[in-house]
A and B are shown apart, each in its own frame.
Chain A
């Protein structure tokens, strides 16, 4: 490893895990570099949480190699766990303890001294705007506050890698915005982040690189904006209630059309020329032109049918 090249924080090679006949993780390989935010995207049941659980020894792998900080997880899991912060999907706060004691108590598991734990707790409470609630019981906190506290708790050991499993699922827009701001700030401070989500806006906003996973394997990998440009195009033309004239026009133009019955999606590679001609020459109502998004890519790759 040289000084200028990227430092690999996490290296996963060909991870596999089956539950009975279901292959939850099916040959997953990816690497997270120091200082980046790496996204693990996929629909429900894609194997995201199982993969995260492998990272802290909760779920044993059937096969595959997992290295963090250049240490083998089977040999050095304790050292590894001292250096990672994990924010699980489900609330696992201690309901018998106050907000502050949740942080101070958790620090003890990392063998952090009581004085240092108190200092860090104060710092984190402030960072996540929880100072006013420090002595409240966790039971009475709202979902958004709990999530902030979960995230604060994951940072109490000053981790070199922060692992977030769907950090904003079920939150209101205000809480979500606040969390995103804080995560962006942490990233700026140089923290490496591994994030799972099925919110495309979240991934597009936070992730430097991401993989889209389905049925336990990777469909695509790269920078979100670049992936959208490559795989979907520049913009998307949406046409509601298309009639025959519209369909004929699009056919003549040899467009890539995704037909959803009551709605047509046309992926456009450059400019708004086609959109202008369509709205001028055929019909204007129900036609919208919008930038292509990660959501377009996600649906294109993982399909539109419902999961679970």
Chain B
């Protein structure tokens, strides 16, 4: 396996992104619905149904209502889902069933550019979803500005990270049904145990340690910190974690895909 060399990449990466964007645009009315409707459902269910039983959650030096506590987590989860599912199921379908990568390889594009284009597109989907959700949640008055504007760059970073993780899965699974494995071993536990629906402090000590290894934990912490304007020095460490993870996993995803396809 070879680490991708920067000389392999050109502006053509954008052409791959463009292809996916145009197809997304064809169906934008349907694509826009989930990020708009989902947060409303969650806020209704948790805000009306659960919040009254839970009461207020201590966050830094403040006490926040439960709905306020989970709203940033919903955005973080959407960032993870949108990019991860794009580079797993959707990329796999394009690679294996639709032979899209074969078709693109017959043009001046190379495979490294195709994969990077796919990852950038998946991250874009995260940004679109986070933005739409952010707008809806802001209408409920649950985010604070200008801090919440930082969700856009965070969605880029988180999107790149989960897109890379998804692409690594795509490079390794023998068939599309095998995606169940990383989902129930990785994605679902992260959805539940990354400080999303309850504070990590409620977990036993060892589990808190494990949670600190999960990428979603750091994304949730950052998104919550920015959206609620709770500043803390720890956020720099979370940011460093995400940046380093992207710097390692993104080139790794490209290298593994090249190994899978070109032989």
Chain A residues at the B interface, C-beta cutoff of 8 Å: 56-60, 77-78, 81-82, 84, 86, 88, 90-97, 101, 105-106, 108-111, 153-154, 157
Contacts and interface: CB of A to CB of B under 8 A. Distances in A.
B100 A92 contact: yes
B110 A90 contact: no
Given A58-B262, A59-B262, A96-B23, A109 B99 contact: no
B263 A88 contact: no
Nearest to B26: A96
A106 B26 contact: no
Interface in B40-67: none
Interface centre among B99, B106, B109 (most CB of A within 10 A): B106
B99 A92 contact: yes
Contact of A110 (B18, B19, B103, B108): B108
A94 B103 contact: yes
A276 to B, nearest CB: 54
Contact of A88 (B15, B19, B106, B262): B106
Contacts of B105: 56-58
Contacts, number: 62
B12 interface: yes
B255 to A, nearest CB: 15
A88 B18 CA distance: 23
A57 B108 contact: no
B31 interface: no
A78 B105 CA distance: 10
B106 A105 contact: no
Interface of B: 12, 15, 18-19, 22-23, 26, 98-100, 102-110, 262-263
Contact of B107 (A81, A90, A95, A97): A81
A252 B145 CA distance: 103
A92 B108 contact: no
A88 B262 CA distance: 16
B152 to A, nearest CB: 27
A301 B99 CA distance: 34
Given A58-B102, A94-B100, A105 B108 contact: no
Contact of A56 (B12, B26, B106): B106
B262 A60 contact: yes
Contacts of B15: 108-109
A90 B109 contact: no
A110 B102 contact: no
Contacts of A109: 12, 15, 104, 107-109
A153 B106 CA distance: 11
5 contacts: A57-B110, A58-B102, A58-B105, A81-B106, A92-B98
